[in-house]
Homo-oligomer: A and B are copies of this chain.
Amino acid sequence: MKALKEKIRQEGSVIGTEIVKVDSFLNHQIDVEFLEEIGLEFSKRFSGVKVDRIMTVEASGIAIACLTAPYFGYPPVVFAKKAAPSTMNAGFYEAEAKSFTKGTVSVLKIAKDYIKEGENVLILDDFLASGQASLAMADLIAQAGAHVAGVGAVIEKGYQGGSQLLRDMGFQVESLAVINEVCDGKIYFDSDRG
C-alpha cells in the first residue's frame, strides 16, 4: 500500500535496528481518515473471505479493527486483553505471547462469551514481527472451536519471520507495508505490491 509506505517514510521514527515507531498516526495519535483507507485495503486483500468476527489485541489494534469492521459488514470486534501470566479465570480463553522486542511474556485473554464455535475470525494487528501475538490469537480461536479467516497486519517486519510461520500454518497473511530492513536510521520496504 503505497500511501502507507510514504506515511511511514515521512512520519516513522527508527530506534536502533529493530524498532519503527509510528506514533503520529497509529500507536498514540490516530489518523482516523487514514485508518479508514487501511480498513478498505484490508477488505480488498481479504475479498471473498467470510469474516464473522474481527479479533485484535489492546491497545493499538482496537482502532484498526474498529475502522476496518464497516468494510466487512460490521462483524463484532473483540480485543484480547493483556494480563500477567498468573491470572487465571474459568470464563476466559488464554494464550501466552512472548514479545521479543520487550523481552516479556504476556497472556492474551478473551472472554468465552465473545467468540463462538464455528466462527471465521479475522486477526488484525498493527505490527507483525515474530508473529507471537497472532499465534496466540490463533490459539484462542482454536480453543473456541472457531477458524482463522486470515491474518492482517498494517506493518510487517519481514526480517523477523512471523509471516512465514503463519503462512506455514495455512493462514492467508496480508501485510500492508513490509519492512525488509532498518539500517542507519532508514527504512527499506519490499517492492511495492500496491
Interface residues of A, Cβ cutoff 8 Å to B: 23-24, 28-33, 35-36, 58-59, 62-63, 65-67, 69-70, 74, 76-79, 81, 110-111, 113-114
Cα of A119 to Cα of B67 in the assembled complex, Å: 25
Q: Which residues of B contact A29 (CB under 8 A)?
A: 76-78, 111, 113-114
Q: Which residues of B contact A32 (CB under 8 A)?
A: 66, 69-70, 74, 76-77
Cα of A32 to Cα of B66 in the assembled complex, Å: 6
Q: Which residues of B contact A28 (CB under 8 A)?
A: 78-79, 81, 110-111, 114
Q: Which residues of B contact A76 (CB under 8 A)?
A: 29-32
Chain B residue with Cβ nearest A80: B28
Q: Which residues of B contact A59 (CB under 8 A)?
A: 58-59, 62, 79, 81
Knowing A30-B76, A78-B29 are in contact, say whether A66-B69 is a contact too (CB < 8 A): no
A-B contact pairs, 28 of them (CB 8 A): A24-B113, A28-B78, A28-B79, A28-B81, A28-B110, A28-B111, A29-B76, A29-B78, A29-B111, A29-B113, A29-B114, A30-B65, A30-B66, A32-B70, A32-B74, A33-B74, A58-B58, A58-B59, A59-B59, A59-B62, A59-B79, A59-B81, A62-B63, A62-B66, A63-B63, A66-B66, A66-B67, A67-B67
